[in-house]
Amino acid sequence: MNRYIGAHVSASGGAENAPVNAGKIGATGFALFTKNQRRWDAPPLTEETIESFRSNMHKGGFSPESVLPHDSYLINLAHPDPEKRRISTATFIGEAERVRKLGLIYLNFHPGSHLNAIETREALKNVARSLKTAGEQVPGVTFLAECTAGQGSNLGARFEELAFLLDFFAEIWEQGNPPLHICLDTCHLHAAGYDMETPEKAAAVFQEFDRTIGFRHLRGMHLNNAKAPAGSRLDRHASIEEGTISAETFRYIVQMKETENIPLILETPRSELWPQEIEMLKKWSSL
C-alpha cells in the first residue's frame, strides 16, 4: 500500500528542484508547475534539466505515479472563440510534452470556462476535442480534470459535468483506453456545495461521486481546507486544521482504500506548516 502525500512545491530555478523541495518537507508525492504558469510561452526543457529531474526523482524515492503536474491557469480549453481555444490547446500540448520529457504520466488541468457565451455542454465538448488533439500528439500522458468551486462561468463544479466530459471524450477517442480521469479538490468540492464538513458528510459525497463518475476515474486529490462554508462558491484554501472542513474528514480521506496509490497533494496557504501537515496525514493513513 502506498500513500503519496505531499504538497505543490516550488520549481523555481528549474523543474529539477521540485523533487528536492518535496524531499525537504517529508513528502512521498508532490505537485509542480513545469513552467511559469503566468506565461503562455516557456523555454524548452534542456537535457541537463531533464536528467537532473529524473535523478532527483530517483534519489527522493518518487515514482511517476506520485507526481501531479499542473498546467497553466491561463489555459481555457473550453474557450468559445476558436482562435483563443487553438492557442490554449497548443499551450496545453506544450505542457503535456514537458510532462512526458520529465518521465511523468499525469497532467492536472481545470476544465475551463464557457464565459457565458456558449452552453455548458458545448463548452465541455470543446474541452474534449482539445484533449483529443493533445492526446493524439502526446501519447502516454493521462489528463486529470479537476473539479472546481463553481465560481463565475467555470466548468466542472458538478459531478454531472465531469461525467459528461468523460463520456463525450470516450465517444470521440479512437485509440483504446481514453487518457482522461479526475482529480478532486476538497476545498472545491465543499465550495461547490458538496458538504465535506464531517466524515459522514464526506462519505455521502464520495458515494455520489462513485455513482455519477466512478472511483475508477479518481487518479489524484488536492487536500485543502476551506475558509468559507459549504456552497459558498469561494475558492479560498485554508490549512488542514484551520477551515470549515473538520480535521476528521481528512483523516477519513487518507484512510480510504480509494486514495491508495494516487497523489494526495496539499495546496494549503501556510507552506511553513506543510512538514507538520504531511507528517500528520501520513500518521493518520497508517492507523
Whether residue 235 lies in the annotated active site: yes
Whether residue 146 lies in the annotated active site: yes
Whether residue 110 lies in the annotated active site: yes
Whether residue 241 lies in the annotated active site: no
Catalytic residue among 3, 85, 110, 190: 110
H or E stretch at 182: strand 180-185
Query: Nearest Cα to 186, choosing from 264, 114, 257?
Result: 264
Q: Which residues make beta-bridge pairs with 185?
A: 222
Catalytic residue among 3, 8, 70, 114: 70
Catalytic residue among 95, 97, 185, 195: 185
Name the phi and psi angles at 243, rounded to 5: -120, -160
Whether residue 71 lies in the annotated active site: no
Catalytic residue among 39, 51, 73, 119: 73
Catalytic residue among 65, 258, 260, 267: 267
Catalytic residue among 146, 161, 195, 277: 146
Whether residue 58 lies in the annotated active site: no
Catalytic residue among 85, 237, 252, 277: 237
Taken in order 70, 186, 256, 3, the sign of the CA dihedral is positive
Whether residue 222 lies in the annotated active site: yes
CA max distance for the chain: 52
Catalytic residue among 71, 95, 235, 277: 235
Catalytic residue among 38, 47, 174, 272: 38
Query: Nearest Cα to 88, choosing from 110, 66, 120?
Result: 110
> How many of the other CB atoms lie within 10 Å of CB of 224?
27
Catalytic residue IDs: 38, 70, 73, 110, 146, 185, 188, 222, 235, 237, 267
